[in-house]
Amino acid sequence: MVRILLCCAAGMSTSLLVSKMEESADKKGIESKIWAVPVGDLENHIKDADVVLVGPQIRFKLKYVNTLAEQCSIPASLINTVDYGRVDGEKVLNLALDLINRG
């Protein structure tokens, strides 16, 4: 099972993207747990994840997220603004899977 954590400002703006990513994972036959949390709750969830993706609206928090991720040996990346805006669950899922596989 892949565990993908999305981090955003309030944990709500990514909910549609989470749904689209889950749909894409189901179509590919990938068992997954995908969830979103506000950046303030990241420390409570990061150890449960295989990868952390950061919403473009909080790109200014990327250094903080990367520091936490490195401490847990988890890859982290910023979600592409266009993919985020288009709610392209497949592309964002592929980003997460690529990061996990590079791990």
Phi, psi of 74 (to 5 degrees): -120, 135
8 is catalytic: yes
Question: Where in the chain does DSSP place strands (E)?
Answer: 2-8, 32-38, 51-54, 76-78
Residue type (1 letter), 12: M
Determine contact, residues 49/5, Cβ cutoff 8 Å.
yes
Which member of 4, 5, 7, 8 is catalytic? Answer: 8
**What residues are labeled active site?**
8
